[in-house]
Chains A and B, each alone.
Chain A
Amino acid sequence: QITLKESGPTLVKPTQTLTLTCTFSGFSLSTSGVGVGWIRQPPGKALEWLALIYWNDDKRYSPSLESRLTITKDTSKNQVVLTMTNMDPVDTATYYCAHRRVQLFDYWGQGTLVTVSS
């Protein structure tokens, strides 16, 4: 059974760097074809894809946010880490990590709400 859980700070100040960790179980990020993605959702708004890392360490980023994002994996710990620099109040959102199966996000974590405020 696949599960994912996001963890990280609930409050960050403007200009700070956000670091979120996705800890998962039920699959291995060393298995061919597997990936883990990050998606966010501002309160009451739509979903926005941020980044994706594949089993072979290939990485993809949202073009509009690429300069601020870094995604890494630690296969031995079953974790994926997302960092986002220069946080702004408009980055306030629930951040989800999700398992990628053949280009689809089929299992999602419960999400973690990150508020950006001074």
Chain B
Amino acid sequence: DIVMTQSPDSLAVSLGERATINCKSSQSVLYSSNDKNYLAWYQQKPGQPPKLLIYWASTRESGVPDRFSGSGSGTDFTLTISSLQAEDVAVYYCQQYYNSYTFGQGTKLEIK
């Protein structure tokens, strides 16, 4: 199994400030034949199912605000929220889909 490890486990950021969440995979999720990273990010608000935000490590899902961005390659990835809004309070998960599916343990994002 590919193990996904997120850091930090929780994060408090002031409104309007940048939030950065990291995700590390135990092996590369970059598929050399198409040069794509098989890495997605999800947002989960209390009492709701996860919502797909980012796929192929950096492609925003339709309708996702452009303050959300993804970066990284191979084994190290980052989700950045450029200017935190109150509605961004949630738990964020990374997920690899290179080999089966595994999720990170989640990062809880709160307002400072």
Which A residues have a C-beta under 8 Å from some C-beta of B? 37, 39, 46-49, 52, 60, 62-64, 96, 98, 103-106, 108-111
Contact = CB atoms under 8 A, between A and B. Distances in A.
Q: Which of A52, A63, A64, A104 has the most CB of B within 10 A?
A: A104
A46 B94 CA distance: 11
26 contacts: A37-B101, A39-B101, A46-B93, A46-B104, A46-B105, A47-B42, A47-B50, A47-B95, A49-B102, A49-B103, A52-B101, A60-B100, A62-B100, A63-B100, A64-B1, A96-B50, A98-B49, A104-B52, A104-B55, A104-B97, A105-B50, A108-B49, A108-B50, A110-B48, A110-B49, A111-B49
B106 interface: yes
Interface of B: 1, 38, 40, 42, 48-52, 55, 61, 93, 95, 97, 100-106
Contacts of B55: 104
Given A37-B101, A46-B103, A96-B49, 16 more contacts: A46-B93, A46-B106, A47-B42, A47-B103, A48-B103, A49-B102, A49-B103, A63-B1, A96-B50, A104-B40, A104-B55, A104-B97, A108-B49, A109-B49, A110-B48, A110-B49
B100 A49 contact: yes
A46 B61 CA distance: 22
Contacts of A106: 52, 61
A17 B76 CA distance: 39
A103 B102 CA distance: 12
Nearest to B55: A104
Contacts of A46: 93, 103-106
A93 to B, nearest CB: 13
Nearest to A102: B55
Closest 6 CB pairs of A and B: A108-B49, A49-B101, A47-B103, A103-B97, A46-B105, A106-B52
